[in-house]
Amino acid sequence: MKEETLLKVDSLRMYFNIAGKGLFGRSSAAIKAIDDVSFDISRGETLGLVGESGSGKTTVGRAILRALKPTGGKVLFNIGDRVTDVTELSGKDLFSFRRHMQLIFQDPYSSLNPRMTVRDIIAEPLECQKYGTRDEIDARVREVAERCKLNVEHLRRFPHAFSGGQRQRICIARALVASPEFIVCDESVSALDVSIQAEVINLLQDLQAELGLTYLFIAHDLSVVAQISHRVAVMYVGRLMEFAPTESLFFAPQHPYTKALLSAVPSVHPDHEFAPVPLDGEIPNPAAVPSGCRFRTRCPIAQDKCASEEPEWREIDQDHFVACHYAGAANATA
Amino acid sequence: MRKPQTQTRPSDTEMEPLVEIEDLRVSFRTDEGLITPVDGVSFSVPRGKTLGIVGESGSGKSVSTKALMKLLPQTAIIDPGSRMRFTRKAGGVVDIARLGAGTREMRDIRGGDIAMIFQEPMASFSPVWTIGNQMIEAIRLHRAVGKAKAREIAIDMLERVGISNPDMRVDQYPHEMSGGMRQRCMIALALSTNPSLLIADEPTTALDVTIQAQILDLMNDIQSELDMSIIFITHDMGVIAHVADEVAVMYLGRIVERGPTAEVIHNPKHPYTKGLLAALPDLDHIDRRLVPVGGDIPGPMNRPAGCAFHPRCDQFTSGLCDAAIPHYTDTGDGREVSCFLVGQDEGAR
């Protein structure tokens, strides 16, 4: 593994059994929420992960953090001169490894305990990890709170006294307090109002520059993802469709799904023509994934080959990966 | 209860806006005292046109339209000075502000003349009845038809909103459908009574962009087909830019700027509108650092005096902005802006 690579996800699979035990004790049906996903993230990088609801993007975040135990594949962290596969950790090892990774949730209203003061909320990760004495913890909490632009005078208040943007900053402070290297932001700015959202995005970017943090930024809002990410992965029904540096993904998308997604974002510029590529129907049930290319049922350029052969994951341009038989050629037709 | 004033002026109904809201003020009694989330809102919607209302949380955008439907909780008080003139389908203008929520006429208007669709289609349908059941109930309440005919109308509406196999779908339960399909059914249900005004409260916020595009397209088609007016509430400037003829930007219970959509978005005049647009990530300029609007949205209990936006405004003038609420200034291009910086009006209230 290269030195600058912090995290490498290799053929990650996460299946959920849905059939339960049948009459003869067999269970067969499974939702393939993540079906062979591989990518890597460099230190200090933000990787954007986009996709429609049901694409499995949240599950990827949870599997990396080991909130779920993946069905297969590896999740390798390159931390402290050592490569650790978190899928193999358990018990105490997993517990102590968790301080390297954190999660910021979507809804700052439901992710803070209303009965704890802000100081206690931010201090909890430190107390879990037995960081030090109460004074040491207090000092660290104040330092992080200041960094997240929270008023340290307000640390003894309860969450209800704060607005949405302030609450999300509390969540960010809680995530940062134990000095993690890697943070999963799962729709972390989606619930915020536009005027507040910009501030939180700027804060996340500043903290990254100061502390060298690495983010996996999961969101459905493409313009937010473009703003914050260095590279972007597009996911569809449990698999990556396209993976590229932000500029090339947004300005030279190769996969028909990415093109359709981008065309569906209404721009505020009224002179931009709003001509979404029509996609038939909706995202398929991950328990019954279409044969061949899983996007073919909605793809505007699908051919017979798409139903029979699964497209291979190929590098179509430098650092630009795509899973489509007709990517590149598609430029002429779409 | 006073009788509603009804006047019939068939000759100039085409010129008259369908809805005209004047100085709407809605307060709520709460444990902490009286709050006024809608404080002097005026707008009108012409026939066949779409008014977009943009605003962040606490701006009062949903409360003002719920007042128009008389769907506010019992703790709400609509100020007696408020006017909500609405032209009925059958002709005649009523002032909805004067109608009791439970009166026969209001029940006719609600669902019959004015229909509403919501953000969360799963929460808007009852899970224990089929889609058809719920549609037939609404149709029979508002149109004098029998069960069989109502079912026909329901199937026809489902087909119109792009549901495949409507004969089969009509007998399905809401949980059997996906989010996009439920929102289509919601639209079919709202339109099955042939309303003249549709209030869409964040109808696409919970949907994926691809489905959002389908729904916006559908609403557009249906509007031109039925010559219906729409009030479209959203926080997404991008959506507004593509659906609305006119846009009203709300902040803390007041409209701060109102005018033709392209004008407002291209050349915003109010500092809040400018701030909102600058805070928006833009796919064309992804390297640009976002410019947030400083500060936080104040809670309803501590509304700033004077212009409610002044604590967050970077062009705030002490002694003026925090002392009086600015008038609406007509800037000439069909636009009204409530800001002292625009067209400096001395006669400030």
Which chain B positions have a beta carbon within 8 Å of A284's beta carbon?
none
CB–CB of B283 and A283 under 8 A? no
pLDDT of residue A21: 60
A266 touching B (Cβ < 8 Å): yes
CB–CB of A250 and B238 under 8 A? no
Residue of B185, B296, B297, B312 to mutate when probing chain A, most A C-beta within 10 A: B296
pLDDT of residue B6: 44
A280 touching B (Cβ < 8 Å): no
- The residue type of A36 is D
Convert A33-43 to b/e letters by CB count within 10 Å (16 or more is b): bbbebebbbbb
A282 touching B (Cβ < 8 Å): yes
At B182-231, the pLDDT tens digits run 888 999 999 998 899 999 999 988 888 888 888 898 888 889 888 899 99
pLDDT of residue B118: 86
Q: Poorest-confidence range of A188-197, A210-219, B21-30, B269-278?
A: A188-197
Torsion sign, CA atoms A57, A63, A67, A71: positive
Which chain B positions have a beta carbon within 8 Å of A222's beta carbon?
209, 283
Report d(CA A8, CA B118) in Å as an integer.
42
Report d(CA A178, CA B172) in Å as an integer.
50
The residue among A297, A294, A236, A290 whose CA lies nearest residue A261 is A236
Whether B172 contacts B154, CB under 8 Å: no
CB–CB of A246 and B286 under 8 A? yes
Which chain A positions have a beta carbon within 8 Å of B276's beta carbon?
194-195
- Predicted confidence pLDDT, tens digits, chain A (334 residues): 677 899 999 999 999 887 666 566 555 678 889 999 999 999 999 999 999 888 999 999 999 999 999 999 999 999 888 899 999 998 999 998 999 999 999 888 899 999 999 999 999 999 998 888 999 999 999 999 999 999 999 999 999 988 888 999 999 999 999 999 999 999 999 888 888 899 999 999 999 999 999 999 999 889 999 999 999 999 999 999 999 999 999 999 999 999 999 999 888 876 677 888 888 777 888 888 899 999 999 999 999 999 999 999 999 999 999 999 998 764 444 4
Report d(CA A321, CA A243) in Å as an integer.
5
| pLDDT of B289 strictly over 70 | yes
Tokens of B252: 């803390």
Report d(CA B25, CA B22) in Å as an integer.
9
pLDDT of residue A20: 63
pLDDT of residue B7: 45
Report d(CA B107, CA B102) in Å as an integer.
7
Report d(CA B145, CA B149) in Å as an integer.
6
Written as one string, the DSSP assignment of A150-162 is --GGGTTS-GGGS
CB–CB of B214 and A246 under 8 A? no
pLDDT of residue B95: 95
Written as one string, the DSSP assignment of A84-123 is EEGGG--HHHHHHHGGGEEEE-S-TTTSS-TTS-HHHHHH
Q: Is residue B286 very low, low, confident or very high in pLDDT (cuts 50, 70, 90)?
A: confident
Q: Is residue B80 very low, low, confident or very high in pLDDT (cuts 50, 70, 90)?
A: very high
ipTM summary value: 0.83
Convert B17-26 to b/e letters by CB count within 10 Å (16 or more is b): bbbbbbebbb
Q: Percent of chain B at pLDDT above 90?
A: 60
Tokens of B139: 């149709």
Whether B38 contacts B67, CB under 8 Å: yes
Kindly report the average pLDDT of chain B as a whole number: 88
Phi and psi, residue A232, nearest 5°: -135, 135
A·B CB contacts under 8 A: 127
The residue among B50, B31, B81, B102 whose CA lies nearest residue B248 is B50
Which chain A positions have a beta carbon within 8 Å of B291's beta carbon?
198
∠ Cα A124 A130 A134 (to 5°): 70
Chain B interface residues (partner A, CB cutoff 8 A): 56-57, 178-181, 208-214, 216-217, 235-239, 241-242, 261-262, 265-266, 275-277, 279-284, 286, 289-293, 296-297, 299, 312
Report d(CA A29, CA B217) in Å as an integer.
37
pLDDT of residue A109: 87
| Measured torsion, CA atoms of residues A91, A95, A98, A100, in degrees rounded to the nearest 10 | -110
Residue B210 has its nearest CB partner, among A196, A274, A279, at: A279
CB–CB of B238 and A197 under 8 A? no
Q: Is residue B345 very low, low, confident or very high in pLDDT (cuts 50, 70, 90)?
A: very low
Whether A65 contacts A32, CB under 8 Å: no
Which chain B positions have a beta carbon within 8 Å of A276's beta carbon?
210, 213-214, 217
Q: Poorest-confidence range of A209-218, B118-127, B324-333?
A: B118-127
Whether B257 contacts B269, CB under 8 Å: yes
pLDDT of residue B347: 41
Hey, how many other C-beta atoms are within 10 angstroms of the C-beta on B127?
9
Radius of gyration over alpha carbons of chain A, in Å?
Answer: 21
| pLDDT of B122 strictly over 70 | yes
Distance of CA A235 to the CA centre of its chain: 10
- Which chain A residue is nearest to residue B179, measuring alpha carbons? A282
